[in-house]
Amino acid sequence: MSVVTIALPTGNIQAPGLALLARAGVIHVTPQQLGRRLLVDSGGVRLVVVRPADVVAYVEHGAADLGIVGKDQLWESGRGQGIYELLDLRTNACRLVVAVPERSQLGGPETWPPTLRVATKYVRATAAYMESIGQAVELVHLHGSVELAPQVGLVDAISDLTETGNTLRENRLRVAAVIGESTTRLIANQVSLKTRAREVQDIVRRLRGAVESAD
Amino acid sequence: MRAVQEAVLAEMRRWGYRFVVTSTLESLEVFARGLGPEQLRRLFKLTDADGRLLAVVGERTIPVARLAAGQLRGAALPLRLCYSGPVLSNDGGRFASRRESQQVGAELIGAGGPVADAEVIALAVRCLDAAGLRRYQVDVGHAEFFQGLLDGLQLGPEVKARIKDALAARDLVQLEQVLAATPLRSAEHELLLRFPALRGGPEILDAAGELVRNRRSERALGELRRVFELLGTHGLGAAIQIDLGAIRDFDYYTGVIFEGFGPELGRPLAQGGRYDGLLARFGRPAPATGFVVHLDLVGEVLVRSEHPPALPRLDAAVAWSAPGLDAALRLGSSLRLFGMRAVVDTQPRAQAAARGWRDVVGARHLLHCTGAASVSWQPAGQRLRRLPPEQAVARLAGGRS
């Protein structure tokens, strides 16, 4: 049996991810035990803790066999053919939405101007969506506090992830369109699926069981 | 890298494959006959003086197919061709991945059926061997197996397109969702869900054979079984696995497909398969199969292995002091005549300085010419001795193996 490496992101996916891995009997580590460690080995499984945006890179290059990652990151990575999306882990459900200021004239896509200015961290997904509905956009790529941008007149709208809608409401924004729904996914390196087929498929089976028993 | 390339090409020549050269630039229209929109997008493009769109080669199978249908039109089929060179591809700069990579490939054009398929797969395995790889495996699948499964589903073309898209994106979550939304529960349905995990030894062919109910998939399984038997006869049973769930470009490949992997690398080292439709697009319909070896990736595996290949060493460094130049040049020629690698110094050096120079150029032996008649030579672990040049050559040539 060779060691299977799983890439786990920091941030809000981590705790539910660890809980799921424990429930599936893959590896038992609590967030407290993990602490600030970036690498944990236990029972034939190695956990590597990386930034959410880096999970895809680790798995695509084969440094990790499996990865736990938000669907939003998969949209943004424009992943190539080196990665398989195996399982919907159903945690961290959220939506990528286009939001406009509450007082704005703008409503659904039919009310948008010929060219819409949008601020976002999710450039690829937003661009792909706008193209699919035939809307011309100017995208402003921001790295944080996207909610601020329309309030100071930088843009007409933002596109951002929202779980409960609270942050949007606090910033007096309302949803104008939904681009997509995201949950956490299990991804695998294409070669790991073949060279470590038995070990990897065993973990996939356990995780699938844990996800389905939660329903 | 160069050594790996030569070893692979030498193996291809042993199998009777003729080396062909294709150009680095091709008209974009040529590639458009064989590549899908996504692959076309990745090509580096430029225009010529007449405003025609050209592309830098992103793969060489299409240029070779064009060669076989064009310049080699008169040559009898089957043609066995091999090639080597850089290919360029714009990978969208996702991870600033390598844009230029080195490939060696072979194509068997004009031969259909399992015997030809097995020949090309066996050649691919032998090439990985020749490259110096020791731990690898080759997965063999069939493009028609999947097409048959799709045929077998009683679904509209739109749903089938979404199934294809989900698989092309390796998005099994999406695949499950699409299939879950369909009313049908057939054997094909079940097989598609399990599709990417349909992998193993020849027993997987029996397991799948009991489930499929369409001629196309059944024929694919029959061909795979035959190819697997033939590979056994080629002496390659152990390295071969069957992978019915291989996901490749299904619009391009028409038959048996295969990929070679090493355990340490996240990407395939070699890929290939049957593409019977391509030659017809250049006006000479013919079945064809072939593969490429990704030299950069093979090199990566070799460098990281437990016994990385040593850089080729020089056999002899020939140094000289003023009156010895003529003797040194003649000595160098003689050594090369005996097949040894030898460099002759470009400036005079004394014995001590010459030892330092030998270490820098990395040669096994140091020969120092001080005059026309004698060479000083220090074999490993022995004292320095003087001897006539012809004797030095004889000793070195004799002791080389």
Per-residue model confidence as pLDDT tens digits over A26-35: 999 888 888 8
Does some domain include residue B268? no
B142 and B212 co-located in one domain = yes
Does some domain include residue B272? no
Q: What stretch of H or E contains B140? A: strand B137-142
pLDDT digits (tens, 9 = 90+) for A180-191: 999 999 999 988
Residue B246 CB neighbours (<10 A) = 25
More confident residue, A179 or B362: A179
Does some domain include residue B271? no
B319 and B256 co-located in one domain = no
Residue A64 CB neighbours (<10 A) = 28
More confident residue, B101 or B250: B101
B85 and B149 co-located in one domain = no
B22 and B151 co-located in one domain = no
- pLDDT score recorded for residue B1: 77
Nearest CB to B261 within list A63, A78, A191: A191
Chain A residues with CB inside 8 Å of B171's CB?
85
Distances from the Cα of A163 to the Cα of A109, A158, A166, B155, B303, angstroms: 22, 15, 8, 36, 47
Task: Check CB contact under 8 Å for B170 and A190.
Answer: yes
Question: Which pair of structure tokens corresponds to residue A53?
Answer: 């945006």
Residue B336 CB neighbours (<10 A) = 14
Residue B175 CB neighbours (<10 A) = 22
Reported as a pLDDT band with limits 50, 70 and 90, residue A152 is confident
Give the separation between CA B290 and CA A184, rounded to whole angstroms. Answer: 39
A113: preceding bond cis by omega (within 30 degrees): no
CA angle A200–A205–A206, rounded 5-degree value? 100
- pLDDT score recorded for residue B397: 80
CA distance A203 to chain B (A): 13
B327 and B299 co-located in one domain = no
Question: Which pair of structure tokens corresponds to residue B27?
Answer: 């008209």
pLDDT digits (tens, 9 = 90+) for B34-57: 888 878 888 889 998 888 899 998
- pLDDT score recorded for residue B394: 86
Task: Check CB contact under 8 Å for B174 and A62.
Answer: no
Q: Can you give the CATH number for the domain in which B336 is found?
A: 3.40.50.800
Reported as a pLDDT band with limits 50, 70 and 90, residue A215 is low
B169 touching chain A per CB within 8 A: yes
Reported as a pLDDT band with limits 50, 70 and 90, residue B392 is confident
Reported as a pLDDT band with limits 50, 70 and 90, residue A82 is confident
CB pairs under 8 A between A and B: 60
- pLDDT score recorded for residue B273: 95
pLDDT digits (tens, 9 = 90+) for A20-56: 999 999 999 888 888 888 899 888 899 999 999 899 9
Candidate from A210-214, B227-231, B248-252 with smallest mean pLDDT: B248-252
Does some domain include residue B277? no
- pLDDT score recorded for residue B199: 83
B297 and B330 co-located in one domain = no
Q: Determine the distance from the C-alpha atom of residue B325 to the mean position of all C-alpha atoms in its chain, rounded to a whole number.
A: 45
More confident residue, B355 or B379: B355
Candidate from A100-104, B92-96, B173-177 with smallest mean pLDDT: B92-96
User: What single letter denotes the amino acid at residue B29?
Assistant: E
* Cα nearest neighbour of B166 on chain A: A85
The total of structural domains in chain B comes to 3
Question: Comparing C-alpha atoms, which of B293, B267, B242, B258 is closest to residue B7?
Answer: B293
pLDDT digits (tens, 9 = 90+) for B85-103: 999 888 654 444 678 889 9
Reported as a pLDDT band with limits 50, 70 and 90, residue B177 is confident
Chain A residues with CB inside 8 Å of B263's CB?
195
- pLDDT score recorded for residue A80: 64
CA distance B267 to chain A (A): 6
Whether the predicted pLDDT of B249 surpasses 80? no
Chain A residues with CB inside 8 Å of B169's CB?
85
- pLDDT score recorded for residue B95: 45
Task: Check CB contact under 8 Å for B196 and A85.
Answer: no
Chain A residues with CB inside 8 Å of B137's CB?
194-195
- pLDDT score recorded for residue A97: 95
Q: In this structure, what are the phi and psi dihedrals at residue B386, rounded to the nearest 5 degrees?
A: -110, 140
CA distance A2 to chain B (A): 11
User: What single letter denotes the amino acid at residue A120?
Assistant: T
Task: Check CB contact under 8 Å for B266 and A77.
Answer: no
Task: Check CB contact under 8 Å for A193 and B196.
Answer: yes
Chain B neighbours among A 72-91 (CB < 8 Å)? 77-88
B106 and B166 co-located in one domain = no
Domain boundary among B297, B312, B327: B312
Does some domain include residue B379? yes
B128 and B156 co-located in one domain = no
- pLDDT score recorded for residue B96: 47
> Containing domain of residue B96, as a range?
1-134+283-312
Domain boundary among B269, B296, B312: B312
Q: What stretch of H or E contains B205? A: helix B203-211
A60 touching chain B per CB within 8 A: yes
B83 and B186 co-located in one domain = no
- pLDDT score recorded for residue B399: 65
Nearest CB to B137 within list A185, A193, A195: A195
Please, is B338 exposed, middle or buried when counting C-beta atoms within 10 Å of its C-beta (0-12, 13-18, 19+)? middle
Q: Can you give the CATH number for the domain in which B290 is found?
A: 3.30.930.10
B385 and B365 co-located in one domain = yes
Question: Helix or strand or coil: residue A33?
Answer: helix
- pLDDT score recorded for residue B12: 95
Nearest CB to B199 within list A78, A185, A194: A194
Whether the predicted pLDDT of B31 surpasses 70? yes
Q: In this structure, what are the phi and psi dihedrals at residue A123, rounded to the nearest 5 degrees?
A: -70, -45
CA distance B210 to chain A (A): 23
Candidate from B17-31, B37-51, B93-107, B218-232 with smallest mean pLDDT: B93-107
Does some domain include residue B270? no
Task: Check CB contact under 8 Å for A191 and B265.
Answer: yes
Predicted TM-score (pTM) above 0.80: no
Whether the predicted pLDDT of B284 surpasses 80? yes
Q: Are A159 and A117 in contact (CB under 8 A)?
A: no
Distances from the Cα of A3 to the Cα of A197, B24, B112, B121, B395, angstroms: 12, 43, 42, 30, 52
pLDDT digits (tens, 9 = 90+) for B324-357: 899 999 999 999 998 888 999 999 999 889 988 9
B318 and B301 co-located in one domain = no
Give the separation between CA B384 and CA B394, rounded to whole angstroms. Answer: 17
Question: Which pair of structure tokens corresponds to residue B234?
Answer: 């080629």
B322 and B392 co-located in one domain = yes
Q: Which domains does chain A have, with CATH numbers?
A: 4-92+183-213 (3.40.190.10), 94-180 (3.40.190.10)
Distances from the Cα of B12 to the Cα of A24, B53, B80, B251, angstroms: 49, 34, 9, 28
Does some domain include residue B60? yes
Whether the predicted pLDDT of B380 surpasses 80? no
Mean pLDDT of chain B: 87
Question: Comparing C-alpha atoms, which of B258, B279, B281 is closest to residue B270?
Answer: B258
